[in-house]
Chains A and B, each alone.
Chain A
Amino acid sequence: MAGPKTIIIGGGIVGLSLAWNLARRGWTDLTVLDRDHLNAGASARCGGGVRSQWSTADNIRIMKRSTELFASFPADTGFNNWFRQEGYLFLAYTDEQAAMFEQNHRLQKENGVDSELLSPAQIKAKAPTINTDGVVVGAFHQKDGVCFPFAMVWGYAKACRRLGVQVLPFHEVIGLEVAGEKITQVVTNRGRFAADLVINGAAVWSPNIGRMCGVELPNCAEKHEAIVTEPLHPFLGACLIPMDSGMYLAQTMRGEIYACVGLEKGPATDYDHTFAFAQKISRLMIRLIPRLAGVKMLRQWGGFYDLTPDTNPIVGFVDRPSNFYQYHGLMGHGFMFAPALSEMIAEHLVAGKLHPDIAPYGLARFKSGGLEVEKMIIG
């Protein structure tokens, strides 16, 4: 039994990790459609950060599991994801931020995440190159880390194909045909696909897909930008997040420094890079690590955070069409959440077991005001 004929729209880490999790559980009649080449969207534009330091219990638990899955990814898929667990180091500059760190730290401990609070002297010992002026306290978790985003997409795509999943780039969905209560056909620019089940994993483009069958989705695309420098000898272990700016900065396995920070809030229609961003991020980087002043920026680019009104994902079936499953609204951290969320969603779809951590994420919640807001969304 190969399971229902399932079409997944979106070949990013969300769609591919779900396809792999479904195929492993015996659902192999699967097709993943992407309108572009693989690694074109958010999964390839993100920073590749993976952390369990969150402010809500469900996010902490989901990311604890996801971190384990990033670590076992090479063994599970046969593809090296260059995951490097040298921690995330958050820096607080005000008493209010320090109080939030303490509260988060307690909640993380309660949920099995072994994070620690560091004094400025301890921060200096851990990361001697960083400027700790004005830092009140740091929050650190050794098992957090940084992964090479492209490799996760390639690895899942390869593992999917090995299990018989069709992964089809350059297939843009242009219509959904509904008969009665169900979607029956997914129409692309390269042909039609019959479907028993359709999964919307198209991130900020999910509302466009929803509209094709009358489902209104509240997602908002917010533009974020990033830069990368020339490669340097490894000197920076942890991914750094100074909370005064919300920047995140890390050194990759290839030696480059990359950094991101928010510029404009609210809905965006493009992710073009801007000079204003290059200037802002350069100033923040030099302030945090003065020795970066002479390091060359090689490239800047932009991408979208897929925001929802209450900062939580949208996961689950909608009322109509009854075979239309949503999996998006991942708030700019879909890359790190996808491995664990996909595991839970596959259990939901294949075995009918709805994990309590994803149960609240249905679209219907917005009618009653939404969920608890996550405070540690960065960038």
Chain B
Amino acid sequence: MPRKTIICRCEDITLVEVEEALALGYRDVESIKRYLALGTGACQGKMCLALLARVLLERGVAPDEIKPMVSRAPLAGAPLAAFAAEKERA
């Protein structure tokens, strides 16, 4: 992959930046996410996680050490009005 390959489109993170994070010793997905803000944009990791996993594998991280970032609600972005309009719970 060319060094300027975009890994995370939402946050404009390139391969070079992922390699810099690796060089600093951050080899797990959660650390890299927090160091680069990779996966924190509009897609919440849906687009970039597979690419990051591939880069980590290619750089020698063991497959069982590559865990996906924690998935949280909502599953997909939804307007605040949709959450607010729910009836009060008893």
Contact = CB atoms under 8 A, between A and B. Distances in A.
Interface string A267-304: 00000010110110111011000001111111111000
Contact of A286 (B26, B72, B80): B80
Given A276-B89, A279-B83, A286-B80, A154 B30 contact: no
A243 B62 CA distance: 50
Interface in B38-55: 41-42, 44
B64 interface: no
Nearest to B80: A282
Contact of A282 (B26, B44, B77, B81): B81
Interface of B is mostly: loop
Nearest to A284: B84
A230 B77 contact: yes
B28 A37 contact: yes
A298 B44 contact: yes
A44 B30 CA distance: 12
B42 A298 contact: yes
Interface string B52-72: 000000000000000000001
A286 B81 contact: yes
Interface residues on B, range: 20 to 34
B77 A297 contact: yes
Contacts of B83: 278-279, 281-282, 297
B30 A40 contact: yes
Contact of A293 (B37, B41, B80): B80
B78 A297 contact: yes
A323 interface: no
Contacts of A299: 44, 72-74
Contact of A37 (B34, B72, B74, B86): B34
Contact of B35 (A154, A292, A296, A298): A154
B79 interface: yes
B26 to A, nearest CB: 8
B30 A297 contact: no
Nearest to B30: A37
A38 B79 CA distance: 32
Given A38-B34, A296-B79, A283 B84 contact: yes
Contacts, number: 75
Given A37-B28, A300-B73, A285 B80 contact: yes
A297 B74 contact: yes
A294 B81 contact: yes
A276 B73 CA distance: 12
B81 A278 contact: no
A301 B72 contact: yes
Contacts of A300: 72-74
A273 B84 contact: no
B72 A273 contact: yes
Given A273-B72, A300-B73, A295 B80 contact: yes
B62 to A, nearest CB: 15
A229 interface: yes
B75 to A, nearest CB: 10
Interface of B: 26, 28, 30-31, 34-35, 37, 41-42, 44, 72-74, 77-81, 83-84, 86, 89
Given A297-B79, A298-B42, 5 more contacts: A150-B34, A279-B83, A294-B80, A297-B80, A299-B74
30 contacts: A37-B30, A39-B31, A44-B34, A150-B34, A150-B35, A150-B37, A169-B31, A229-B80, A231-B41, A278-B73, A278-B74, A279-B84, A282-B81, A285-B80, A286-B80, A286-B84, A292-B80, A293-B79, A293-B81, A293-B84, A294-B79, A294-B80, A294-B81, A296-B77, A296-B79, A296-B80, A297-B83, A299-B73, A299-B74, A300-B73
